[in-house]
Amino acid sequence: MKKTIKISGKLLCLENPLIMGIMNLTPDSFHKDSRFNPSDEDFLEKACRMYENGAQILDLGGYSSRPGAENVSPEEETERVLEAIEVLTKKLPEAIISIDTFRKSVAEKAISKGAALVNDISGGTLDSEMHPWIIENNIPYILMHMRGNPKDMQNQTDYKNYPNDVYTEILEKANYLKKEGVTDLILDLGFGFAKTIEQNYQLLKVLELTKLFDYPILTGISRKSMIYKALDISAAESLPATTQLHLFSLLKNTQILRVHDALEASQTVKLLSYLENDTHKP
The answer to whether 57 touches 47, Cβ cutoff 8 Å, is no
* DSSP class of 143: E
The reported pLDDT for the residue numbered 69 is 61
pLDDT digits (tens, 9 = 90+) for 87-102: 999 999 999 999 999 9
The reported pLDDT for the residue numbered 35 is 63
pLDDT digits (tens, 9 = 90+) for 51-69: 999 999 999 999 877 665 6
Catalytic residue among 2, 66, 224, 252: 224
- The pLDDT tens digits along the chain (282 residues) read 678 999 988 899 998 999 999 998 876 554 455 566 777 778 888 999 999 999 999 999 998 776 656 678 999 999 989 999 999 999 999 999 999 999 999 999 999 999 999 999 999 999 999 999 999 999 999 999 999 888 788 888 999 999 999 999 999 999 999 999 999 999 999 999 999 999 999 999 999 999 999 999 999 999 999 999 999 999 999 999 999 999 999 999 999 999 999 999 999 999 999 988 765 444
Domain 11-270: which CATH class? alpha beta
Active site residue 195: no
pTM listed for this prediction: 0.92
CA distances to 143, 181, 210, 213 from 176, rounded to whole Å, are: 12, 9, 18, 14
The answer to whether 140 touches 115, Cβ cutoff 8 Å, is no
The reported pLDDT for the residue numbered 278 is 61
CA-based nearest residue to 255, from 222, 207, 200: 207
Helix (H, G, I), strand (E, B) or coil at 122: coil
Active site residue 32: no
Domains in the chain: boundaries: 11-270
Backbone φ, ψ for residue 20 (5° rounding): -110, 120
Residue 20 CB-density burial (10 A; 0-12 exposed, 13-18 middle, 19+ buried): buried
